[in-house]
Structure 1
Amino acid sequence: MFFVLLCANITVQAKSLALSFDDGLNPAFNVQAEQINAQILKHLHDQQIKSIVFPSLIKIGDYQGKQLIQAWGQSSHLIGNHSALHQNLNKENVSAKDYIKSIEQADTVLKTLPNYTRIYRYPFLKEGNNAEKRDAVYQWLAQHQYRIGGVSIDASDWFYNQKYLDYAKQQDQDKLDRLKQAYIAHLLHRADYYDQLAQLTINPSPQHVLLLHVNAINAAFLKDVITAFQQRGWTFISAADALQDPLYTQHSQNIPAGESVIWSIAKTKGLEHLRYPAEDAPYEIDNLKQHGLQ
C-alpha cells in the first residue's frame, strides 16, 4: 500500500545516479581480489563513469590492499575514507572517541593516494545510537574539513554477492543467470523506491548516489546493471558531481541515526511504514523465489 501511495504522488522527472563502492578487498585473503578490482574498473572505464571508492583498512588488509585502491585514484576515481576498523557506531560498545580514532588512522594511510578526498562514509550507514555520539562525530568531521559520503539509494549487493559466490563455486550457470536477473531487479526496485520516496519528501529528486561494494558480483554483472538502469531512463553522473548536491550536507535528526539520507529525512518527517533497518538480507528472500532461487 505504501508503494502505491508513493506512485500516486510522484511526477516524472529526469533521474541522475552516481555509483559508489565500499570496503575494498584484501589480496592476502581473496586470491581473486586483483581480478575483481580490475574488472570493476574496466566496466566503469568502458561506460565512462567516474565513481568513488570508500576503503576500510580492515577490509583491504591495512597496507596489503592499498595498491588496489591506488588503481582507483590512478583511473581518476575519487578515494574516500571508510575508517580503519569498519565499526558500527550504533553499537553500545563503540565509543565516539574510539570511532574517531579509527577515522584518523585510515586518513593517515589513505591520504597519500592519488585523488584522495576528505569524504567519509559511515560503515553500515550507522551514525550513532544516541545524540551524544552522533553529534560528536559530526562535529569532528566538520572541524577536520570532512564531508559525509551519504547515500540516497541503499541496497543489499553484499547479500547477492554471497549467493553469487555460492553458485560460482557450484559452477551452476543456470543459477548464476537467474541471479543476475534477480540482482538487477533488486537494484532497480530499490532505486525506484528511494527516488519515489525522495519526490514525496524533498521534491524534486536529488542527484542520487547508489551504495555498492567492491565484490565479485559487481565484477561480473556491473555492465549489465548499468545498461539496465540506462534502459529505465537513468543518467549516470560522476560521484564528484552527485555529492555536491546539498542533500548530502544534511545530518540525521533521528536516533538511531543513519540509513539512506532519503530514508532519514522521511523518518524525521514522520512517514509511516518505513522498515528498519532500511535494507537487510531477509527482505530479499521473496525476490530470490520469484527468480526460481532459494
Structure 2
Amino acid sequence: MAVHPDRRTLLAGLATSGLVAGCARPDRGRAAATPGIAVTIDDFDLSDTPLLSGSERDAAILAALRRHRVKAAGFVAGKYVDATLAPRILTRWSDEGHILGNHSFSHRYFSGQDPAGLMADILRCEPLLSRYAGFRRLFRFPYLAEGKTATGRDAMRALLDRHRYRNAPVTIDTSDWCIDNRLKARLAVDPRSAIAPYRRFYLDHVWERATFYDGLARSLFGHSIDHTILLHHRLTTGLFLDDMLAMFRARGWRLVDAETAFASSTLALKPDTLPAGQSLIWSLAKADGRFAGQLRYPGEDGDYEAPRMDARGL
C-alpha cells in the first residue's frame, strides 16, 4: 500500500494570510446544543493490509455504519478503481445508501497553478462513479489543498460551479493515516503485536481533534454544527470505526448522515483565506482573525502525532 505523503512536507513554504470572509451567515435552523458528526472516508485504496484484506476491511467499515444506523460519504480517487474489487465494493456502498463522491482521478496536490488540469482530472474520474446510484457531484480536494493563490482558488471554485460540482469540505480534520502507518509498520514486524494501545491512541486523537474543531465552531457561530470528519479507507478505520462511533454517542454527540451534513449552508461557506483549504472550520477561524493563537499550520500533520506515539512506544 502506498504511504500517505506527509502533509507538512506537501505544504511546506506556503505563507498563510488571513483575510476577511465575505460569506453569508451559517444555518440558524441547526443551532444544536450538542454537536453532530458525519463520517466521510477518502481515497478507497483497497489494497490488502495486515489483519484485513481490502474486502474484509470494507466489510468491517460498512458493518460499523450499519450497526450505528448512519450513512457515510466515500470520496473515491479514480486511480484506485480497478476492474474487479472496486465495482463490488462501490455497488455495496451505493446499495446501502451511502454517498459516493469524487476525489479526482490522480489524487494530486492542487497548488492553484492549473485549475483546468484539476477539473479535467475530476471529470476523468466521474465515469468510474456515475454508474452508481449513490454518486453525487461532490468533490473532495486531495490533501484538503484548495490553492495557494486567490486566482487559482477562485478559478477552481468557478470551474466546479460550471460543472455542477460542490466542494465537500471537512470540518474535523485528523491524522488517522499517521496512526495507520505506525500500526501497519508494527504488524509487519510482528503480526501478533497488540492493537489495543493503537486503538486507545486513535480514539484519543480523534476525540481531541473533534473537540478542538467543535470549540472553534462554537466560538464562530455561537453553537455547535453537524460536522464532517475526515477518515481514510485504511486498517485503522476497519478496526476502530465502530469504537469511534460508540465513543461519540456515549459522550453525547449525535450521529448524522453525510447527506444531512452536506446540505447545511454552513458547509457551503467559502472563506477568503490563503492558502485555501484545511478544515473549513480552521479556514473560517483564520478569516475571522480572532483565533491566530489557536491555529497551527497545517492544521493536522504526522509531525504533531509522532512524538506522542514515540513516547508511548507506538
TM-score after normalising by structure 1: 0.89
- Measure how far apart 1:135 and its partner are: 0.9
1:152-163 paired onto structure 2 within 5 Å? 152-163=171-182
Q: Distance in 2 between matches of 1:28 and 1:102?
A: 26
Q: Indicate the SS of the match to 1:258.
A: coil
1:61-80 paired onto structure 2 within 5 Å? 61=82, 65-80=86-101
- Measure how far apart 1:232 and its partner are: 1.4
Q: What amino acid is aligned across from residue 42 of structure 1 in structure 2? A: A
1:191-270 paired onto structure 2 within 5 Å? 191-270=210-289
CA contact 1:25–1:65 (8 Å) conserved in 2: no
Q: What amino acid is aligned across from residue 117 of structure 2 in structure 1? A: D
- In structure 2, the residue matched to 1:23 is 43
Q: What amino acid is aligned across from residue 136 of structure 2 in structure 1? A: T
The 1:252/1:89 distance shift into structure 2, 3 A limit, reads farther
Q: Distance in 1 between matches of 2:49 and 2:232?
A: 17
Q: Distance in 1 between matches of 2:155 and 2:71?
A: 32
The 1:90/1:202 distance shift into structure 2, 3 A limit, reads farther
Per-residue deviation, residues 17-37 of structure 1 (Å, max 9, x unmatched): 101100102459998111111
Per-residue deviation, residues 151-188 of structure 1 (Å, max 9, x unmatched): 110001111111221233312433x1111000000000
Q: Distance in 2 between matches of 1:287 and 1:48?
A: 34
TM-score after normalising by structure 2: 0.84
- In structure 2, the residue matched to 1:82 is 103
Figure out how many residues of one structure are paired with residues of the other and give that number.
279
Identity %: 28
**Alignment partner of 1:184 out of 188, 203, 209:** 203
Q: Distance in 2 between matches of 1:98 and 1:15?
A: 37
- In structure 2, the residue matched to 1:272 is 292
The 1:247/1:264 distance shift into structure 2, 3 A limit, reads same
Q: Distance in 2 between matches of 1:14 and 1:58?
A: 38
Q: Distance in 1 between matches of 2:261 and 2:116?
A: 30
**Alignment partner of 2:134 out of 103, 109, 115:** 115
Q: Indicate the SS of the match to 1:89.
A: coil
- Measure how far apart 1:127 and its partner are: 0.3
1:22-171 paired onto structure 2 within 5 Å? 22-27=42-47, 32-61=53-82, 65-90=86-111, 95-169=114-188, 170-171=190-191
- Measure how far apart 1:285 and its partner are: 2.5
Please report the RMSD computed on the Cα atoms of aligned residues, expressed in angstroms.
Answer: 2.0
Higher relative contact order (CA 8 A, sep 6+): 2
The 1:26/1:177 distance shift into structure 2, 3 A limit, reads closer
CA contact 2:49–2:184 (8 Å) conserved in 1: no
Q: What amino acid is aligned across from residue 24 of structure 1 in structure 2? A: F
The 1:47/1:135 distance shift into structure 2, 3 A limit, reads same
The 1:16/1:131 distance shift into structure 2, 3 A limit, reads same
Q: Distance in 2 between matches of 1:147 and 1:105?
A: 17
CA contact 1:51–1:238 (8 Å) conserved in 2: yes
Q: List alignment gaps of at least 5 residues for structure 2.
A: 1-31
- In structure 2, the residue matched to 1:4 is none
**Alignment partner of 2:309 out of 278, 285, 288:** 288
- Measure how far apart 1:69 and its partner are: 2.0
Q: What amino acid is aligned across from residue 212 of structure 2 in structure 1? A: Y
Q: Indicate the SS of the match to 2:300.
A: coil
